[in-house]
Amino acid sequence: MWRKKKTGKRGFTLVEMIVAVALVGIMAASLAALMPSLLRIYQKSMVQAESSVVSSTVTTSLLGELRYAQDLEVKDDGVSYDSVRYGAVTMEVEPVAGEYGYIVLRGNGVTVRPLEEKHYAGLLARVQVEVTGSTVTLTLDLADKTGQLVDTTTTQVELLNG
């Protein structure tokens, strides 16, 4: 009456295969729909990480220069001072996108870039310097190539030769 199934044959039925292919297709379609948002999140986190490193590097470089500056004067075109390394210089931003660009020191017939373009990791800088007594406040804004603000860092340092 009751027949025993043959145990020697194993495999998938056509219906099981169609269901499996349909499930894989649904998962692939949902993953494809999520990819643009995941890519934006990844790019945003990479820009934040890069901006943190660039901000720290630029701030350290500029504060090292300003800490030992003499006759520090903030002007419309930049910050003028007597540098221990370079003599009388003006620190300014070489514009690339609006008021953002790369920081340069100009003076005595020489142009010095404390950081090369490759060290900015695709970001641009804007520097604001305020002097109050013997304290220098440095505000560094970083933007992407379109001029959209990414990061702002404000640091204070005491002048040693002021």
What residue spans define the domains of the chain? 14-158
CA angle 136, 138, 151 (to 5 degrees): 165
Query: Can you tell me the distance from the alpha carbon of 98 to that of 87, in angstroms, rounded to the nearest whole number?
Result: 29
Residue-wise pLDDT tens for the chain (162 aa)?
A: 566 656 666 788 999 999 999 999 999 999 999 999 999 999 888 888 888 998 888 888 888 888 888 888 888 778 888 888 888 888 888 888 888 999 998 888 888 888 888 888 889 999 898 988 888 899 999 998 888 899 999 999 888 875
Other CB atoms closer than 10 Å to residue 144's CB: what's the count? 15
Note the pLDDT of residue 59: 87
What is the radius of gyration, based on Cα positions, of the chain? 29
Note the pLDDT of residue 7: 62
What distance lies between CA 9 and its chain's CA centroid?
61
Query: Can you tell me the distance from the alpha carbon of 70 to that of 160, in angstroms, rounded to the nearest whole number?
Result: 9
pTM here is 0.71
